[in-house]
Amino acid sequence: MSNPATTFPRPAERIGDRQPYLSPSPDGPIDLWLNSNEGLAPRAELIQPAQDRLGELIRRYPNAAKLEQQLADRFGLEREQVLVTAGADDALYRACQTMLDREREFILPMPTFEMLDRYGPLAGAKLIEIDWRSGPYPTDDVLGAITDVTSMIAVVSPNNPTGAVAKADDLRRLSAAARGALLVVDLAYAEYADEDLTGTALSLPNTLVVRTLSKAWGLAGLRVGYALGQAQVVRWLHAAGNPYAASGLSMALAGAWLQTGESAMRAHVARVRDERGALFELLAELGAEAQPSQANFVLARFRDAPSTWAGLAREGIAVRAFWEHAQLADCLRITCPGDAADYCRLEAALRRVMSGAKEAT
């Protein structure tokens, strides 16, 4: 008999020595968080519609029917074509669990949303990586990688962390070439883009659209995302996850903000688009290699990314670093604040920090 003191449970092979997801977090008293692409906080009145029902919302298991119908009406769908999830991440995880196994392949242009290259292998699939460091979506390269065992293809547009986009024709070509695969169209940042691909994606037979209220709608803390697609695919996703994914309180607040917050969201998006152009030009002026973006952030390569990251932290500003990612180790991703005063503070901090870095070299 083995000695209990010398034995320990062993994880499944798909877990192995994988590490939990951790975003690099700077030291110091940060009070301007520009590392997670969160939108502007909604007005305090958001909580009012839920106040009268607060006790019941907390006490009862949640029912997503009302919010799913609200989203179905918004996109001209039947309720059976909508699934509310615990953030967009939950929808992507369910898609991987639904479509992938050890006998199947997942085509993933990279770098992209970093949970996708975790979820695919966790489902057992072989990951087929396509280079997408810059420029438009690499449709021709993806088409060339499709095989008889391709079961899922990811299109993240605008792409995180680069801000690059796909076009409607890219979706049509991919859908036609891979009828036996699910085309997962992650549109978490769609509100900020020049073109919303939702309508095109939903017109195709083998697509799943994934969206969220965490970005432009400013509700990241509520963890409400959703998937849109063919009713059968949505039923599969229902079966692949927990029955009560989002809390009743979160869904009530999300539904209220969808009803009343449209104009505030659009004003925020307009502000971010202006800031995005200004930030791109500022970074280029200061010597960084910024990439064009249609999201609420700008990714740029720096001569000394660690010192810039640390210098901004000393100014109380957190931005996203990618030390663990070989393709992006010299890059920082900076969220556009969506606020005039915060943008002025960011600009001033970048000028101070990057001027100091130039003098040091």
Distance CA 128, CA 322 (A): 21
The pLDDT, as a whole number, for residue 212 is 98
Mean pLDDT, to the nearest integer, of 266-280? 98
Specify the higher pLDDT residue, 76 or 360: 76
Q: Which residue type sits at 328?
A: L
The pLDDT, as a whole number, for residue 2 is 56
pLDDT band at 15 (very low <50, low <70, confident <90, very high): confident
Residue 361: is its pLDDT beyond 90? no
Mean pLDDT, to the nearest integer, of 317-336? 95
The pLDDT, as a whole number, for residue 245 is 96
Closest CA relative to residue 88, chosen from 294, 228, 267: 228
User: Could you tell me if 130 and 109 are in contact, meaning their C-beta atoms sit under 8 angstroms apart?
Assistant: yes
Mean pLDDT, to the nearest integer, of 275-290? 98
User: Could you tell me if 202 and 228 are in contact, meaning their C-beta atoms sit under 8 angstroms apart?
Assistant: yes
Residue 213: is its pLDDT beyond 60? yes
* Range list of β-strands (E), 74-177: 82-85, 105-110, 126-131, 150-156
Summarize pLDDT for 216-231 with one digit per residue, the tens: 999 999 999 999 999 9
Length of the chain: 361
User: Could you tell me if 312 and 353 are in contact, meaning their C-beta atoms sit under 8 angstroms apart?
Assistant: yes
Distance of CA 176 to the CA centre of its chain: 26
Q: Is the pTM of this model over 0.85?
A: yes
The pLDDT, as a whole number, for residue 357 is 59
Mean pLDDT, to the nearest integer, of 76-101? 98
Mean pLDDT, to the nearest integer, of 70-92? 98
What does the buried/exposed string (b/e) look like for 182-199 if buried means 16 or more CB atoms within 10 Å of the residue's CB? bbbbbbbbbbbbeeebbe
Specify the higher pLDDT residue, 164 or 57: 164
Domains of the chain: 11-41+263-355 (3.90.1150.10), 51-260 (3.40.640.10)
How many Å is the Cα radius of gyration of the chain? 21
Mean pLDDT, to the nearest integer, of 179-186? 97
Summarize pLDDT for 94-140 with one digit per residue, the tens: 999 999 999 999 999 999 999 999 999 999 999 999 999 999 999 99
Q: Which residue type sits at 239?
A: A
pLDDT band at 5 (very low <50, low <70, confident <90, very high): low
User: Could you tell me if 160 and 37 are in contact, meaning their C-beta atoms sit under 8 angstroms apart?
Assistant: yes
Mean pLDDT of the chain: 94
The pLDDT, as a whole number, for residue 287 is 96
Summarize pLDDT for 44-62 with one digit per residue, the tens: 877 877 788 888 999 999 9
Other C-beta atoms closer than 10 Å to the C-beta of 235 total 14
